[in-house]
Amino acid sequence: MRAVRHWLPPVVLILALLGLWQLAASSGFMADTLDLEDFLVPSPSQILDVLWQDRDLIAENARVTLVEIVAGFGVALVVGLLAASLLHLSDLLRRTSYPVIVASQTIPIIVVAPVLVVWFGYGIGPKLAIIALICFFPITVNTLDGLRSVDPDSVKMMRTLYASRWQIFKRVEIPTALPYAFSGAKIAVAVSVIGAVFGEWAGSEKGLGHLMLQDNAQLMTDRLFAAVLVLSAIAIVLFGLIALLERRVLRWR
Partner 1 sequence: MTASLTGHAVGHAFGSVTALEELDLSVEGGEILAVVGPSGCGKSTLLELICGLREPTRGTIDVGGREDAAGRLERCAYMPQTDCLLPWYSAIDNAGLALRNRGLSRSAARERSKRLFTQFGLSGFEDARPDELSGGMRQRVAFLRTLLSEKDVLLLDEPFAALDAITRAELQEWLRPVMAAEERTAVLVTHDVEEALFLGDRVAVMSPRPGRITKMIESPGGDGRSRSEVVTAPEFTALRQRILSLLTAAAPSVPARTADPAGAKP
By the criterion CB under 8 A, which residues form the site for partner 1? 151, 153-154, 156-164, 167, 171-172, 175, 251-253
- Please identify, using beta-carbon distances, which residue of 158 and 229 lies nearer to partner 1: 158
At closest approach, how far in Å is the CB of 46 from partner 1?
51
Q: How far is the CB of 158 from partner 1 (least distance, A)?
A: 7
Cβ proximity to partner 1, 53 vs 167, nearer residue: 167
Closer Cβ to partner 1, 55 or 247, answer by number: 247
Length of the chain: 253
Nearer to partner 1, 55 or 156 (CB): 156
Q: How far apart are CA 72 and CA 242, in angstroms?
A: 15
Q: Minimum distance from CB of 45 to partner 1 (Å)?
A: 50
Tell me if residue 158 falls in helix, strand or coil.
helix
- What's the closest the beta carbon of residue 248 comes to partner 1, in angstroms? 13
Yes or no: say if 249 and 178 are a contact pair by the CB < 8 Å rule. Answer: yes
Question: Which residues have CB under 8 Å from 111's CB, separation 6+?
Answer: none
DSSP SS3 for 93: helix
Question: Which residue's CB is nearer to partner 1, number 5 or number 251?
Answer: 251
DSSP labels, 170-232: IIIIHHHHHHHHHHHHHHHHHHHHHHHHHHHHHS-SSSHHHHHHHHHHTT-HHHHHHHHHHHH
C-alpha–C-alpha distance, residues 216 and 169, integer Å: 51
Select 174 or 213, whichever has its Cβ closest to partner 1: 174
What's the closest the beta carbon of residue 60 comes to partner 1, in angstroms?
A: 44
Q: Give the C-alpha separation, 180 to 143, whole Å.
A: 5
Question: Min. distance of Cβ 152 from partner 1 in angstroms?
Answer: 9
Provide the 3-class DSSP secondary structure of residue 57: helix
Closest to partner 1 by CB, 43 or 85: 85
Q: Nearest distance from residue 78's CB to partner 1, in Å?
A: 23
Is 211:227 a contact under the CB 8 Å cutoff?
Answer: yes
Contact between 67 and 124 (Cβ < 8 Å):
yes
